[in-house]
Amino acid sequence: MIDATILTESLLWCNGTQYLEVREKQYDQKVYLDFYTESTSSTPAVSNVLVYVASSDKKTNQNYLGPAPLEELAKQIVHAEGPSGPNRDYLFQLEKALIELGCKDAHVMDLAREVRCILSKEVR
């Protein structure tokens, strides 16, 4: 007899993974990591998190901007769009999720602030 809960969870995992494989196709590496919200913590907040990684190899990652000032990164994000929609929406959701997990990532927050600044200027 098949457990309906296990079957449902397996189908959700497969569908979710298929969705991510399309959405995250520009990333050239996948790794599973433990996520910590405190640098001094010995226990991860979440374990075995699937992370898609964009390497700096321009041959395998054609979207890699390279080392760039925050302003250049923000400009690219403002105008980038993928299968899931505008990149800026992803950035804003990432910022929100990290804050909800108790992780205030200065780079993500500064980048989101700069993207909002550019967008506010474009509206005028």
Decide if 15 is inside a domain. no
Decide if 102 is inside a domain. yes
Number of structural domains (the chain) is 1
For residues 17-45, average pLDDT: 79
pLDDT at 16 over 60: yes
Task: Give the E-state strand segments of the chain in sequence order.
Answer: 29-35, 46-53, 81-82, 85-86
**Candidate list 9, 24, 72, 114, residue with the active-site label:** 24
Q: Tokens 């405190």 appear where? A: 38
Q: d(Cα 29, Cα 82) in Å, to the nearest integer?
A: 18
C-alpha distances in angstroms, 76 versus 67, 72, 79, 108?
13, 6, 5, 14
Decide if 90 is inside a domain. yes
Decide if 71 is inside a domain. yes
pLDDT at 31 over 90: no
Q: Quote the domain boundaries for residue 83.
A: 65-124
CB 70 within 8 A of CB 114: yes
CB 29 within 8 A of CB 38: no
Overall pTM > 0.85: no
What average pLDDT does the structure give for the chain?
A: 81
Decide if 82 is inside a domain. yes
Q: d(Cα 36, Cα 76) in Å, to the nearest integer?
A: 28
Beta-sheet pairing, 46-53 with 29-35 = antiparallel
For residues 23-37, average pLDDT: 78
Q: Would you call 24 a catalytic residue per the annotation?
A: yes
pLDDT at 13 over 70: no
